[in-house]
């Protein structure tokens, strides 16, 4: 069991520098022996909550209650290790916080960890805890999972409680987590997910949508080929499918309009009143979000309803998408902000499939390229979260394909 890290001498730069406080947990339980980190959006009694923003840290201060999901894990016997760095106000995907630093990718130190759950991914990838909570609105679990070589889930929207956590975009926000291996991930899934109301059948209908695979770079597609073969060997040959509705640009902009409008509704009052210094990229995104009109949001929400129906019809009760998690491996940490923003915008075109639909997506660390991890994903019907983890258990038990 990992020791509690010294947050002032944290080699991963993953933890917030808060004084350590005792957080009680059950002496026994299904997660006994496991230590976990918590993204600094979730309240933990005795600890401050910052949302990655110093002015917000000063305003919120030390909390006197614990977020529901954190308490569930404590009651299951897991040991709280510390609060992890989040990208500022959770409105980034790069893993670089201008105020609290950039957590280090334990699987590829010269590359970004990915955000906004960067600290949680860094802590797990460095072995400083067994698992860590994150949130995923636009890709903030799936992106760092792919970049850091971790298992990571964006659950069905609303499946895992966010009570006692800071919002970004409530109709898109989800609570996920990271582990280094599938068996540990499954232990946490038993506690946080329970059983599916309508589980996937033993034999699923695997689908590999060409329109989504085309979003990966040629090098990434080549690197993912052995992982795709391994999954098809375990689950059956993937059939053809078309996921995109209208166009990739339409999906991208509808997602961004919803996210931006809701983010401004959540944080705009705070930003207007205090004019807090916002880091690169974050400041520009909030400035853009302030201008999203009610008419654009209404059109985007209507599109989301159509897309959700489209994907539900495609998947039925047995369909599972096999798709790249991200367009490529993590960018290098010395990339200019403009290049990171371009990468983020490319990635959203892949990531918005789960965001717009609210369906669960599980990223698996089955590939590498240029000595850096690259994730591949399973995306299933609404409510199939635990079934996807069981599929991952089957894949993990299957032989590795010869590259």
Is 116 annotated in the active site? Answer: yes
Smallest CA-to-CA distance from 129 within 174, 172, 84, 165 is with 84
Q: What is the radius of gyration, based on Cα positions, of the chain?
A: 19
Q: Is 221 exposed, middle or buried (0-12, 13-18, 19+ CB in 10 A)?
A: middle
Residues 6+ away with beta carbon under 8 Å from 230:
366, 395, 398, 399, 400, 401
Choice among 102, 116, 289, 384 that is catalytic: 116
> 140 catalytic, yes or no?
yes
39, 117, 146, 357: the active-site residue? 39
Find out whether 194 and 303 touch, Cβ atoms under 8 Å.
no
Around Cβ 207, how many Cβ atoms within 10 Å?
20
Instruction: Please tell me the distance from the alpha carbon of residue 335 to that of residue 319, in angstroms, as a whole number.
Output: 38
- The one catalytic residue in 50, 140, 363, 384 is 140
| Structural contact between residues 85 and 12, judged by C-beta atoms closer than 8 angstroms | no
Listed in sequence order, the residues at least 6 apart from 293 whose beta carbon sits closer than 8 Å to its beta carbon are: none
User: Is the preceding peptide bond at 170 cis, omega within 30 degrees of 0?
Assistant: no
For residue 275, the number of C-alpha atoms closer than 13 Å in the C-beta half-sphere is 0
Task: Mark whether 367 is an active-site residue.
Answer: no
Among all residues, which ones are annotated catalytic? 39, 116, 140
């Amino acid at each position: 069991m990992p020791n509690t890290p010294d947050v002032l001498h944290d080699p991963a730069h993953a933890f917030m520098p808060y004084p350590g406080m005792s957080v009680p947990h059950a002496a026994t339980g299904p997660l006994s022996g496991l230590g976990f980190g918590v993204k600094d959006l979730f309240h933990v009694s005795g600890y401050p909550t910052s949302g990655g923003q110093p002015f917000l840290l000063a305003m919120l201060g030390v909390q006197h209650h614990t977020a529901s999901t954190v308490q569930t894990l404590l009651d299951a016997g897991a040991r709280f290790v510390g609060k992890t760095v989040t990208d500022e106000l959770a409105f980034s995907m790069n893993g670089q916080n201008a105020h609290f630093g950039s957590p280090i990718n334990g699987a590829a130190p010269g590359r970004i960890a990915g955000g906004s759950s960067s600290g949680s991914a860094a802590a797990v990838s460095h072995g400083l805890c067994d698992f860590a909570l994150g949130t995923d609105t636009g890709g903030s679990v799936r992106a760092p999972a792919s970049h850091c070589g971790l298992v990571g889930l964006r659950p069905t929207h609303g499946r895992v409680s966010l009570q006692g956590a800071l919002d970004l975009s409530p109709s898109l926000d989800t609570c996920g987590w990271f582990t280094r291996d599938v068996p540990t991930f499954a232990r946490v899934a038993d506690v946080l997910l329970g059983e599916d109301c309508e589980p996937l059948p033993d034999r699923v209908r695997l689908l590999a949508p060409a329109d989504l695979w085309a979003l990966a770079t040629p090098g990434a597609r080549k690197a993912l080929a052995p992982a795709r073969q391994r999954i098809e060997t375990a689950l059956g040959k993937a059939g053809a499918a078309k996921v995109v509705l209208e166009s990739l640009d339409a999906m991208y902009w509808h997602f961004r309009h919803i996210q931006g409008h809701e983010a401004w509704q959540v944080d705009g009052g705070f930003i207007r009143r205090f004019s807090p210094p916002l880091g690169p990229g974050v400041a520009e995104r909030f400035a853009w979000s302030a201008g999203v009109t009610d008419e654009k949001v209404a059109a985007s929400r209507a599109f989301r309803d159509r897309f959700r129906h489209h994907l539900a019809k495609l998947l039925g009760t047995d369909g599972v998408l096999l798709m790249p998690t991200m367009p490529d491996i993590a960018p290098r940490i010395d990339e200019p902000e403009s290049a990171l923003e371009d990468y983020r915008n490319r990635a959203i075109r892949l990531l918005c499939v789960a965001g717009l639909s609210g369906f669960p997506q599980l990223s698996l660390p089955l590939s590498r390229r240029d000595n850096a991890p690259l994730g591949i994903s399973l995306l299933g019907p609404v409510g199939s979260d635990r079934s996807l983890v069981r599929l991952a258990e089957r894949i993990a038990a299957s032989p590795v394909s010869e590259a």
